Amino acid sequence: KAGVTQTPRYLIKTRGQQVTLSCSPISGHRSVSWYQQTPGQGLQFLFEYFSETQRNKGNFPGRFSGRQFSNSRSEMNVSTLELGDSALYLCASSLFIGLSYEQYFGPGTRLTVT
């Protein structure tokens, strides 16, 4: 099976712009989660989508949004970019096994805001 794919892998934007990142989960996985990883804050949960519905949300401002399509592909959008949004954005697709998750991560999108 193909793994989780994220596009683009690298992105450079300027402050005030907006950006859209894409994630294609593993075939058959219906849950997609997004994380932000920075040296200072570590890995922080952004949100989770399941069957096109946002099911879980972290503590990020409303500038961060996402959606999931009927084929389980997901996008996240960041509007009015700030320097502090520079980070590695990781997407994970999840498979339920019993009562637990098993998450599989993509390689990430490295966003640099200048």
Partner 1 sequence: AQSVTQLDSHVSVSEGTPVLLRCNYSSSYSPSLFWYVQHPNKGLQLLLKYTSAATLVKGINGFEAEFKKSETSFHLTKPSAHMSDAAEYFCVVSDREDSSASKIIFGSGTRLSIRP
Residue 13 burial (C-beta neighbours within 10 Å; 0-12, 13-18, 19+): middle
* Least gap, CB of 80 to partner 1 (angstroms): 27
DSSP state, residue 83: G
- Rule CB under 8 A: say whether 106 interacts with partner 1: yes
Q: How many residues bind partner 1 (CB under 8 A)?
A: 26
Q: From 14-22, 45-53, 66-74, 75-83, give the range in contact with partner 1 by CB under 8 A.
A: 45-53
Q: How many CB atoms lie within 10 A of CB 10?
A: 9
The two three-digit tokens of residue 79, written as one number: 């509007």
Q: Would you count residue 21 as binding partner 1 (CB under 8 A)?
A: no
Burial of 60 (0-12, 13-18, 19+ CB in 10 A): middle
Q: Is 62 in the site for partner 1 (CB under 8 A)?
A: no
By the criterion CB under 8 A, which residues form the site for partner 1? 4, 33, 35, 42-45, 48, 50, 55-56, 90, 92, 97-108, 110
